[in-house]
């Protein structure tokens, strides 16, 4: 008789444990599915966003626009046909002169004068 009860309790306990496990598992599955769905949704949104950004990038890089911006902000122009060379070797070395302008603009010249006269005056004082 005792053994009989023991079996029943064991079976019941087993049923409860497996029931809980099943529930937990099913719950886990549901949560994971929800997570997957959320990630996929996120991915789709990201892809859509990338497409939009690509389109915007292409729009902002229209040659027409870049040309206008370059003309406005850069002190550079496209090279002329006579400026196109095939390699660095084609640059004539001997023709390169040190980049000192032959005559300085008036404002620059005055600044130089001052910066040179001050030390020379100090020197004169010492002597």
Partner 1 sequence: MILRQMRRNAIRIEGEHSAALERARGRLVLLGMVFALAYAVIAVRVFDLAVLQGDVPRMEGEVVAADEGLQEKEQVASIRRGDIYDRNGELLATTLKAASLYADPALILEPQKVTQRLARIFPDLDQAQTLKDLEGARRFAWIRRGITPDQQQEILALGEPGLGFEYEDTRIYPQGALATHLVGYADRDGNGLAGVERSYQDVLATGNDLHLTLDLRLQHALRRELGAAVQEFQAIGAAGVILDAQTGEVLAGVSLPDFDINKAGSATDEQEFSRLTLGVYELGSMFKIFSTAALLETVNGSLGQTFDATKPIRIGRFSINDYHAQKRVLTVPEVFMYSSNIGAALMGKTVGTEKLRAFYRDLGLIDPLKFDVREIGSPEVPHPWREASTLTASYGHGISTTPLQLASAAASVVNGGFLVQPKLVAQQDNSGEPEKKVRVISQENSEKMRALWRLVVTQGTAKNADVPGYDIGGKTGTAEKVGARGGYDRKRLISSFVGAFPMNDPKYVVMIMVDEPKGNKKTYGYATAGWVAAPVMAKVVTSMASILGIPADAYDPAKDIVYNLDRYIHDPKHKKGKTLVSYHE
Nearest residue to 19 via CA among 29, 11, 7: 11
- Looking at residues 50 to 79 of the shown chain, list those that interact with partner 1 (rule: CB under 8 A): 51-52, 54-59, 61-64, 67, 78-79
What are 122's two structure tokens? 């100090």
Q: Does 7 bind partner 1 (CB under 8 A)?
A: no
Residue choice 12, 13, 15, 34 for contact with partner 1 (CB under 8 A): 34
**What is the residue-wise DSSP string for 37-73?**
HHHHHHHHHHHHHHHHHHHHHHHHT-HHHHHHHHHHH
Interface with partner 1: number of residues (CB under 8 A): 34
Q: Does 23 bind partner 1 (CB under 8 A)?
A: yes
Give me the least distance between CB of 10 and partner 1, in Å please: 20
């Amino acid at each position: 008789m005792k053994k009989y009860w023991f079996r029943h309790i064991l079976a019941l306990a087993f049923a409860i444990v497996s029931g809980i496990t099943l529930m937990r598992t099913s719950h886990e599955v549901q949560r994971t599915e929800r997570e997957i769905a959320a990630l996929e949704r996120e991915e789709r949104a990201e892809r859509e966003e990338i497409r939009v950004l690509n389109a915007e990038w292409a729009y902002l890089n229209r040659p027409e626009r870049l040309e206008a911006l370059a003309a406005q902000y850069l002190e550079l122009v496209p090279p002329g046909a006579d400026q196109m060379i095939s390699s660095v070797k084609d640059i004539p070395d001997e023709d390169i002169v040190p980049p000192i302008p032959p005559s300085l603009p008036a404002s620059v010249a005055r600044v130089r004068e001052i910066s040179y006269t001050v030390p020379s005056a100090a020197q004169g004082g010492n002597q």
